[in-house]
């Protein structure tokens, strides 16, 4: 029943209804749909996906995105494809475990639904996965979130971190020794409320990070700065998406 419910939300008519309900209560972004290709039945989130077939997952992802965002984003809601990338084939089917997938399979199988939604439906947002790929946490992987996602797949929207991703770079992955350093590792990304990096910034921890050269005093105009406001501006009547 849960699988059928997830598949039903893949229709553009059903997601169009969700869009209307969201707009009615003032919500403009959905942290959905799940575009993971599930290849291990032991994984506890299989029921959230559209299944194991990348073609089916792609078709459902495109339909959901089209219905939710609509023809005019000023009357739509931003869809968020998740979890980028390879989250449906983690080691031993454990949630948040490492992902060991070859480059070709990663792109041709697991990235396929995301790319379809990007190119055919103008997907506005993507959420990263908690896992690591080839030893590198996806949340800090420029190879995955910039080189593959933006340069190869043509994504121009914004990336939101899966809840505690940036905090996990310090507390779980051990790639950072402080919240500010963890935030600096994220390649041009947006942090969701509640992350340690965001909390550190509001408490003034960003100042020593700048003085210690963890964060540049005059950072480059990142993907997050370029794409985030443009997507949100497109939601405003009279606004136009663009850079």
Which residue out of 16, 36, 162, 223 is catalytically annotated? Answer: 162
Asked about 53 being catalytic, the answer comes back as no
How far apart (Å, rounded) are the C-alpha atoms in residues 62 and 65? 5
User: What is the rounded CA–CA span in Å between residue 241 and residue 243?
Assistant: 7
Please state, in angstroms and rounded to a whole number, the distance separating the CA atoms of residues 29 and 183.
Answer: 23
Cα–Cα distances in Å, from 3 out to 16, 18, 32, 90, 185?
20, 18, 15, 20, 36
Nearest to 26 by CA among 86, 63, 77, 82: 77
CA distances to 59, 86, 88, 154 from 102, rounded to whole Å, are 24, 10, 14, 21
Buried b (16+ CB within 10 A) or exposed e, 40-53: eeebeebebbbbbe
- Residues designated catalytic: 162
């Amino acid at each position: 029943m849960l699988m059928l419910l997830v598949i039903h939300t893949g229709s553009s008519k059903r997601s169009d209804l969700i869009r209307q309900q969201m707009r009615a209560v003032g919500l403009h972004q959905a942290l959905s749909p799940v575009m993971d290709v599930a290849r291990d039945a032991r994984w506890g989130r299989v029921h959230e996906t559209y299944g194991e077939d990348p073609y089916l997952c792609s078709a459902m992802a495109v339909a959901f995105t089209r219905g939710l965002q609509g023809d005019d984003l000023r009357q739509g809601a931003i869809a968020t494809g998740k979890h980028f990338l390879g989250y449906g084939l983690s080691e031993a089917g454990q949630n948040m475990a490492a992902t060991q997938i070859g480059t070709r399979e990663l792109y041709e199988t697991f990235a396929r639904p995301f790319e379809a939604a990007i190119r055919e439906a103008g997907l506005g947002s993507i959420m990263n996965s908690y896992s690591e790929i080839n030893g590198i946490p996806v949340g800090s992987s420029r190879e995955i979130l910039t080189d593959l996602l933006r340069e190869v797949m043509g994504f121009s929207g914004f990336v939101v971190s899966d809840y505690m991703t940036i905090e996990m770079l310090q507390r779980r992955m051990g790639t950072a020794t402080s919240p500010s350093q963890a935030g600096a590792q994220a390649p041009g990304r947006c942090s969701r409320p509640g992350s340690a990096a965001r909390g550190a910034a509001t408490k003034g921890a960003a100042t020593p990070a700048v003085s210690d050269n963890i964060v540049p005093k005059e950072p480059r105009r990142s993907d997050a700065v370029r794409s985030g406001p443009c997507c949100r501006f497109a939601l405003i009547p009279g606004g136009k998406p663009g850079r």
